[in-house]
């Protein structure tokens, strides 16, 4: 079983290295000894609030791979209904309904596609999900702000939100990252929880 696992992972990683530059998904690190995990850098899709951001995603491979599917986790914090805000865990069908023939490059591309098409009906971040369903414009502004702050995005930050971030930073003596999180979970207009 170990040889099946190792051979399959090495084949998938080689395929990944040969094709990743064109897809906006780049293999940046992998466990060369036990092949338990690898990390990809995912470019935020053009036309999405994640555009210009770079998101690191860690993919963990079980010892029973490829017969049992991997787990994926955003290392870079992202405002997205299908990504756990605290954990970075990813919720996508390809992981739930894993098939042994699915390639790791396909998984990485699906994760990138998730940034283009968030699914509010299958949330891991219920706050982002509710915001997307009730106020898509506000969701886009929040996701853009998170992309700028956490993923190095260079899109213009929404001015009104930036003013609120600076106010909370001053009021609570906290970092920009902490202020963005507090305001996001308060839907940008409620009282902020100083413990978020």
- Catalytic sites, residue numbers: 91
Q: Which two tokens stand for residue 4?
A: 């099946």
Place of tokens 């995005």: 153
Using CA atoms, how far residue 99 sits from 47, 65, 83, 181, in Å, is: 31, 10, 22, 36
Q: What is the DSSP string of 113-132?
A: HHHHS--TTS-SSHHHHHHH
Distance of alpha carbon 34 from alpha carbon 16, whole angstroms? 18
Using CA atoms, how far residue 118 sits from 48, 60, 74, in Å, is: 10, 22, 14
């Amino acid at each position: 079983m170990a040889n099946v696992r190792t051979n399959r992972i090495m084949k998938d990683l080689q395929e990944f290295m040969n094709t990743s530059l064109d897809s906006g998904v780049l293999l940046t690190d992998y466990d060369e000894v036990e092949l338990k995990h690898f990390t990809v850098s995912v470019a935020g899709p053009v036309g999405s609030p994640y555009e210009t951001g770079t998101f690191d995603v860690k993919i963990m491979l079980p010892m029973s791979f490829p017969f049992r599917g991997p787990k994926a986790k955003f290392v870079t914090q992202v405002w997205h209904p299908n990504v756990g805000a605290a954990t970075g865990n990813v919720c996508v069908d390809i992981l739930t309904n894993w098939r042994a023939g699915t390639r790791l490059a396909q998984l990485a591309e699906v994760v990138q596609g998730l940034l283009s098409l968030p699914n509010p009906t299958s949330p891991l971040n219920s706050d982002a999900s509710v915001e997307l369903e009730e106020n898509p414009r506000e969701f886009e502004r929040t996701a853009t702000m998170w992309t700028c702050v956490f993923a190095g995005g260079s899109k213009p930050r929404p001015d009104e939100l930036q003013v609120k971030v600076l106010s909370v930073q001053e009021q609570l003596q906290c970092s920009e990252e902490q202020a963005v999180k507090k305001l996001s979970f308060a839907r940008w207009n409620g009282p902020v929880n100083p413990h978020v």
